[in-house]
Amino acid sequence: MSLTETSILAVAKTQYHYKTKAHAGLFFTLIAVQLLAFLFSLNGVGGSSGGGSQGISYTIKYVTGDMIIFFTLIWAFSIGISMAHNGFKTDFTFVSNRLSSHLSSLAFLLTAAVIAGVTATLCGLLLRVVMFFAHGGVDAGPAFWIAPPALLSGIFAATLYAALLGIIGYLAGMLTQRHPAFVVLLPGLFFGTLFVEARSTGEAHTLISAIEFFSTEGSHALLALKVVLVSAIVFGCVILFSNRMEVRKWH
Amino acid sequence: MALRASLITLLFLLLMIIAFIALGKVRISLSKARLVVGLYLALLFVSVPVFYAIAESGVPEPVEIVEIGPGQYRYHDLQINAFYDALHEGRLSEYEGAEIIAQWSFDYQAERLKITAPDYERYATLIAVERKDVRDGKLEVFSYAPKSPNLLTLANPPDIRLQGNQLEILRPEEIHLEAIRFYHDFTMAQFTGTGFSMQRTDYFFGNMVLYLRIPGDLLIDTDESTEHNIHFLNE
């Protein structure tokens, strides 16, 4: 029995500080990912061209920060997996249990989500500035302007999505920790469902419905509620699976 | 083909995830990480005031999307409808959603005029003819195109020449236009409604109108190149 009693939250806090130091390299990857997406976006995310018959031909390049955010979300999912794999290794340095480890990982993922959400959205703004000067202040259309509340909404939504994907990645990482078969089973199940649906109905209905559940939400409060609820369910699954893992290992 | 493209995209996605996990294992000292992340954040935060210094505030209007069947949508363009309504009601000159991109004026005293487009088999642009109340011997030609602060107008007016009793519509010198359109990131667009995937109508193309104001008693003839697309407004 230890002479000093420590609360789970205090342990989780210490572990969190340690994790932010130990996994600082992940933010290098975030910058690399965003700069890569930034470079891809310089050529536009799409375009249209045509004309000829009326004495005019045109090429229109479409620019958004969508790719930067998309890449950032994949990064968030990946660090969720990384945390599930590497997080425990650092936790054994402390007197800890699974719950404090999960809480510190969750805190780290939320911190990473905030940084990812802010940087991804601002990187999109940097893209606009660069494109504006690179094309000599062209007529960019009214959507070039982003009102400050819209910018904050973008940061808010990007942070929520990054947090959600980070936690889903953490669950995926936990499952692969539980049994190596999940390394093959999870992607197989995901891609298999997509292809079976796409072949039978022409559309990946389940994935599209899941994305639309969040992306069509126009209220900040409801979006936050949806993300928090789904994240709580996913995190509950993480705790449930890891508890079972402990019991199994004891026997 | 679409399935193959999806497969490649998903494989690319999987490779990216694996690469990110592998890169995440690279150990970097905290001081180095702080320096790089700090510099990156500084760059991003500097871009905010720069952006607000160069950007002009504007309110993009989302296009009305009407579902016309399962999975089928029509982008209902109210501005184009209003442009043609103004044309058919003879009030294009007062309509603020239209602009004159070229105009010509000729003195013409003959009784008949043939409108022809010798460079074309069938001239595709609508030719609207308005008879004036007066017999002033003036032939006025306007090239109109729709305009909107939200949309680009892609139009190149024809060359117009009066040759004897013929008004000739000639093919203009070809021009090429390059433009950039910006859209809100999807994370903003779900609140503002102006994302890349939500707005398809970015420009007016093929909506030019050739508008003729002719003396009240002038007789108009056409040929194969123009007869199909001529519209008399007040007859």
CB contact under 8 A, B179 and A61: yes
Confidence of residue A128 (pLDDT cuts 50, 70, 90): very high
B30 CB within 8 Å of a chain A CB: yes
The interface residues of chain A toward chain B in range 91-130, judged by CB-CB distance below 8 A, are: 118-119, 121-126, 128-129
Nearest to A75 by CA among A45, A119, A127: A119
Q: What pLDDT was estimated at residue A250? A: 41
To the nearest whole percent, how much of chain A has pLDDT over 70?
84
Q: Comparing A163-177, B149-163, B197-211, which segment has the lowest mean pLDDT?
A: B197-211
Distance from CA of B108 to the nearest CA of A (A): 28
Contacts of A5 (CB under 8 A, 6+ apart): none
For B107-150, what is each residue's pLDDT tens digit? 988 889 999 999 888 888 889 999 888 888 899 999 998 887 76
Contacts of A2 (CB under 8 A, 6+ apart): A95
A174 CB within 8 Å of a chain B CB: no
Confidence of residue A207 (pLDDT cuts 50, 70, 90): confident
CB contact under 8 A, B202 and A82: no
Which residues of chain B are within 8 Å of residue A141 when distances are taken between CB atoms? Answer: 60, 150, 152, 180-182, 202
Tokens read off for B174: 């070809």
What DSSP state is assigned to residue B164?
A: T
Q: What pLDDT was estimated at residue A106? A: 92
**ipTM > 0.95 (yes/no):** no
Contacts of A56 (CB under 8 A, 6+ apart): B154, B155, B156, B174, B175, B176, B177, B205
SS3 of residue B129 by DSSP: strand
Which residues of chain A are within 8 Å of residue B56 when distances are taken between CB atoms? Answer: 144-145
CB contact under 8 A, A157 and B17: no
Tokens read off for A174: 């936990």
- Is residue A248 scored above 60 in pLDDT? no
The DSSP H or E segment spanning B22 is helix B2-24
Q: What pLDDT was estimated at residue A52? A: 63
Distance CA B7, CA B1 (A): 10
Confidence of residue B68 (pLDDT cuts 50, 70, 90): low
Residue of A nearest to B22 (CA): A82
SS3 of residue B177 by DSSP: strand
What would you measure as the largest C-alpha separation in chain B, in angstroms?
A: 90
The average confidence (pLDDT) of chain B is 81
* Highest mean pLDDT, choosing among A54-63, A100-109, A179-188: A100-109
CB contact under 8 A, A58 and B34: no
CB contact under 8 A, A143 and B55: no
Q: What pLDDT was estimated at residue A167? A: 95
Nearest to A115 by CA among A162, A83, A151, A177: A162
CB contact under 8 A, B24 and A50: no
Q: What pLDDT was estimated at residue B82? A: 83
| Rounded (10°) CA dihedral A166, A167, A169, A170 | 120
For A71-94, what is each residue's pLDDT tens digit? 999 999 999 998 887 766 666 555
Beta bridge partners of A47: A61
Contacts of B165 (CB under 8 A, 6+ apart): B110, B112, B113, B114
A179 CB within 8 Å of a chain B CB: no
Q: What pLDDT was estimated at residue B4? A: 61
H runs (alpha helix) in chain A: 8-22, 25-41, 66-91, 98-134, 148-178, 181-201, 205-215, 220-250
Q: What is the mean pLDDT of residues B190-216?
A: 75
Q: What is the mean pLDDT of residues A57-66?
A: 85
What is the number of CB-based contacts under 8 A between chain A and chain B? 255
CB contact under 8 A, B152 and A142: no
Q: What is the mean pLDDT of residues B142-165?
A: 85
Nearest to B206 by CA among B102, B141, B126: B126
To the nearest whole percent, how much of chain B has pLDDT over 70?
76
Nearest to A99 by CA among A246, A227, A228: A246
CB-based contact A64:B182 (threshold 8 Å): yes
Q: What pLDDT was estimated at residue A240? A: 85
SS3 of residue B128 by DSSP: strand
A139 CB within 8 Å of a chain B CB: yes
Q: What pLDDT was estimated at residue B120? A: 86
- Is residue A138 scored above 80 in pLDDT? no
Residue of B nearest to A222 (CA): B191
B143 CB within 8 Å of a chain A CB: no
How far CA B146 is from CA of A206, B88, B93, B99, B105, in Å, comes to 42, 14, 12, 6, 21
Contacts of A87 (CB under 8 A, 6+ apart): A19, A101, A104, A105, A108
Which residues of chain B are within 8 Å of residue A52 when distances are taken between CB atoms? Answer: 174
Residue whose token pair is 């909107």: B148
Nearest to A171 by CA among A225, A128, A231: A231
Q: What is the mean pLDDT of residues A165-172?
A: 94
For B70-106, what is each residue's pLDDT tens digit? 656 565 566 777 888 888 888 888 888 888 999 999 9
Beta bridge partners of B73: B67
Model-level pTM? 0.76
Which residues of chain B are within 8 Å of residue A57 when distances are taken between CB atoms? Answer: 174-177
* Highest mean pLDDT, choosing among A100-104, A110-114, A178-182, B132-136: A110-114
Q: What pLDDT was estimated at residue A247? A: 47
What backbone torsions phi and psi does residue B78 show, to the nearest 5 degrees?
A: -65, -35
Q: Where are the domains of chain B?
A: 2-54, 72-232
Q: What is the mean pLDDT of residues A213-221?
A: 90
Q: Which of A56, A119, A157 sits opposite B154 (nearest CB)?
A: A56
Q: Which of B43, B58, B188 sits opposite A153 (nearest CB)?
A: B188
The average confidence (pLDDT) of chain A is 83
For A18-36, what is each residue's pLDDT tens digit? 888 888 788 888 998 999 9
CB-based contact A30:B35 (threshold 8 Å): no
Q: Which of B34, B43, B194 sits opposite A143 (nearest CB)?
A: B194
| Rounded (10°) CA dihedral A203, A208, A210, A214 | -170
